[in-house]
Amino acid sequence: MSKERAIRRAAREAEAQAAREARARLAARRAKRKAMLRKLTPRLPDRRVGKMFPRRSRAQRTAITTVTLIVIAAIWLLFDDLATRVALTAALLVALPAIIVAALGRR
């Protein structure tokens, strides 16, 4: 009786070992495939690097640029003295980040 149980247990253990090895091979194959896909898939660039207004949407950035250009054009059309034009343009560009944060707030 004990020999039969030992034989059945050995058979069960052999089947379990074969199943574990099959699962391990499958997991290794999936991991390899996933790693290859990760290498081949193009990644989006980091959107935060190199932008002047990284926290703003495209519409907000467009509006900021448009309004800034209109104000600069108004400065250059309304004032005759070159020094005044340059000073007001420089002051606008220096104050622009503070104005944007005050108007649109932080997210």
Q: Domain coordinates of the chain in residue numbers?
A: 1-43, 58-104
- For tokens 């900021």, name the residue: 64
Please give the pLDDT value at position 107. 56
CB 81 within 8 A of CB 74: no
Token couple for 18: 């074969």
**pTM for this prediction:** 0.48
> Which of 99, 101, 74 lies closest to 85, judged by CA?
74
Does residue 76 or residue 41 have the better pLDDT?
A: 76
Please give the pLDDT value at position 54. 61
pLDDT category at 106 given cuts 50, 70, 90 is low
DSSP secondary structure of 51-86? -S-TTS-HHHHHHHHHHHHHHHHHHHHH---HHHHH
Please give the pLDDT value at position 86. 96
